[in-house]
Amino acid sequence: MARLVVLGAGVAGHTTATFAKKWLGNGHEVVVVTPNSLWNWIPSNIWVGVGGMSKEDVVFPLAPVYQKAGIDFRQAKAVSIHPEGKDGSDTPYVTVEYTGQNKEGQTEEITYDYLVNATGPKLNFDATPGLGNGEGGIGSNTVSVCTADHAVHASQELKQVFEKAKRGERQKILVGTGHGMCTCQGAAFEYIHNIHHEAEKAGVRDNVDIKWISNEAFLGDFGMGGMHMKVNGYVVSSRIFAESLYTERNIPWIIGAHVNKIEEGKAHYELLDGSTGEEEFDFAMLIPPFAGAGMKAYDKAGEDITSKIFNPGGFMFVDGDYAPKPYDEWKAADWPRTYQNRDYKNIFAAGIAFAPPHIISKPAKSPNGTPINPTPPRTGMPSGIIGKAVAHSIVDLIKNGSSAHLHEASMAEMGAACVASAGKGLTGGQAAAMTIYPVVPDFDKYPGTGRDTEYTFGEIGLAGHWIKHILHHLFIWKAKLKPGWTLIPE
């Protein structure tokens, strides 16, 4: 009987755990370690952030679902990995610290045969002074929509801003990224357009200035170096697509910006050309940069081997090619395929937790040396696909031994469907529906745009909103393991 320990119950971890359990049955053990008691469908948080949904609509308690599935659930935070065991035992284990289940603060060692690191990101608010409260939480100056609780807070603040605007006070809203190395521009993109939509519905749009600020080199980069997609029979850069949408909605943009300091009602930033500026606001939603969850690793002797297993950002090394190379030597083949740790073959990393070999956008620095470039998104559909492939590999390893064939899910051979909401409403809503193939551009296969324009496509309209709404229910259904959940693709 083997034991698989999954750290994290986000899209990647939950997918890995549920599929592994389904395939392994009761013959083996699946343990999930996560500090949160609730599962959260993160893509819908932006709707919570504008008051279109309540927190209850986007979360559900994990414990009953795992109990029914026969998964051992520990509401705890992973602290360290000991892949070689310790003195007197070769069995690898992780130490965890409970955050719930009436064992708060207790630590425990959980041994594993196979480990999946799917801890997701740490929301690194501290990277920018004023962005957070110094404890990794959200500060009083800006709001966030990264968690359901953050989004609830954001919606309350936004309501006040709208009320002031209704009374005739001019309000300034700033949405974007709070640091030069942020990813997840998509969420901020959705949020700004949802704010615009809600402001119009509330009849206060004329009294509200909405502005975008982000670390992208151009609007529509999204951390993927932009993309060229089919629109109306033309192939266009996502830059035109995005700029058009912002123009249509009268949202000006500041681009290539590293937000380096937040004060009450004011954001300071540095631009790619080295110039600096500041922007005042009454309400700001700035996405924090992501870091690894901050786990440590120790060898048998108790020596710290964190830097061997994790990159300096705290993301885990897997089977990617991490040799530093200049931008034009980057290859699609550098990207990991199996997500197996390069040193410990029984450890895998899925979702945001794995270290990408390099960013996808073109790296850029300001003259002062500040790197200002979006880091690659690893959320949503790719997370799910990677989680499932990793589960598949581990199940085969358990069943067939170490000679088993590993399953592959390279982001350079993976497409993604992405629906970015631009306003909620059954008949008045809109969303940009995009498909992109592959996520990481492959210039050898597709010289020019790096992607297959037959499958890279974008369109905005009500249909996109319907899709996003259906996906919301579909994925919550799937995550709850309700009948037919395996039929729903990642």
Partner 1 sequence: MSVEENFAKNSEFNLSMVPSKFASFMRTCVIWQFIRFVAINLKMIIVVRKSH
Partner 2 sequence: MIKEERNFADPQFETAMIPGRFQRTMRHCIVWQLIRMVFFSVRSIGIIMVNLKNEKELPST
Partner 3 sequence: MARLVILGAGIAGHTAATFAKKWLADAHEVVVISPNSLWNWIPSNIWVGVGKMDKKRVTFPLAPVYAKAGIDFRQAKALAIYPEGKESDKHPFVTIEYTGQGREGQTEALSYDYLINATGPKLNFGATPGLGTGSHIGPHTVSVCTADHAAEAHERLRAILDKARQGHRQKIVVGTGHGTCTCHGAAFEYALNVEHAARQAGVRDRVDIQWISNEPYPGDFGMDGMQLGIMGYVTSVRIMAESLFSERGIHWINSAHVSKVDAGRLEYEQVDGTTGEEAFDFAMLIPPFSGVGLKAYDRQGTEITDTMFLPNGFMRVDADYTPKPYAEWKASDWPVTYRNPDYPNVFAAGIAFAPPHPISKPRTSPRGTPITPMPPRTGMPSGTIGKAVAHSIVNLIREGDRAKLHTASMAEMGAICVASAGTGFQSGQAVSFTMYPLVKDFETYPGTGRDTKRTYGEIGLSGHWIKYILHHLFLWKAKLKPGWTLIPE
**Site residues (vs partner 1, CB under 8 A):** 240, 243-244, 246-248, 250, 252-253, 381, 385, 409, 413-417, 427-428, 430, 433, 435-437, 455, 457, 459-464, 466-467, 489-490
Given the rule CB under 8 A, which residues bind partner 2? 228, 230-237, 239-240, 446-449, 453-454
Interface residue with partner 3 among 37, 99, 244, 449 (CB under 8 A) is 244
What is the rounded CA–CA span in Å between residue 246 and residue 253?
A: 8
Query: Amino acid identity of 192?
Result: I
Query: Amino acid identity of 83?
Result: P
436 binds, among partner 3, partner 2, partner 1, none (CB under 5 to 8 A by kind): partner 1
Beta bridge partner(s), residue 284: 174
430 binds, among partner 2, partner 3, partner 1, none (CB under 5 to 8 A by kind): partner 1
Residues 223-242, interacting with partner 3 (CB under 8 A): 232, 234, 240
For partner 2, the closer CB: 393 or 435: 435
448 binds, among partner 1, partner 2, partner 3, none (CB under 5 to 8 A by kind): partner 2
- The interface mask with partner 3, positions 183-222, x = CB under 8 A, is ----------------------------------------
* Min CB(182)–partner 2 separation in Å: 23
Non-local CB neighbours of 253 within 8 Å, separated by 6+ positions: 211, 212, 213, 214, 219, 243, 246
483 binds, among partner 2, partner 3, partner 1, none (CB under 5 to 8 A by kind): none
What is the rounded CA–CA span in Å between residue 485 and residue 265?
A: 46
Sign (positive or negative) of CA dihedral 229, 380, 150, 118: negative
For partner 1, the closer CB: 260 or 435: 435
333 binds, among partner 1, partner 2, partner 3, none (CB under 5 to 8 A by kind): none
* Min CB(328)–partner 3 separation in Å: 20
What is the rounded CA–CA span in Å between residue 473 and residue 254?
A: 35
Non-local CB neighbours of 52 within 8 Å, separated by 6+ positions: 194, 198, 424
* Min CB(392)–partner 3 separation in Å: 43
Give, as one character, the DSSP assignment of residue 13: H
Residue with tokens 């035109």: 240
Beta bridge partner(s), residue 268: 261, 278
Under the phi-then-psi rule, with left for phi > 0, alpha for psi from -120 to 50, and beta for the rest, what region is 471? alpha
- The answer to whether the bond into 35 is cis (omega within 30° of 0) is no
* Min CB(451)–partner 2 separation in Å: 8
Query: Amino acid identity of 313?
Result: G
* Min CB(239)–partner 3 separation in Å: 11
The CA R_g of the chain, rounded to the nearest whole Å, is 22
Q: Angle, to 10 degrees, between the axis of helix 185-201 and the axis of helix 148-166?
A: 30
For partner 1, the closer CB: 286 or 432: 432
Q: Which residues bind partner 3 (CB under 8 A)?
A: 232, 234, 240, 244
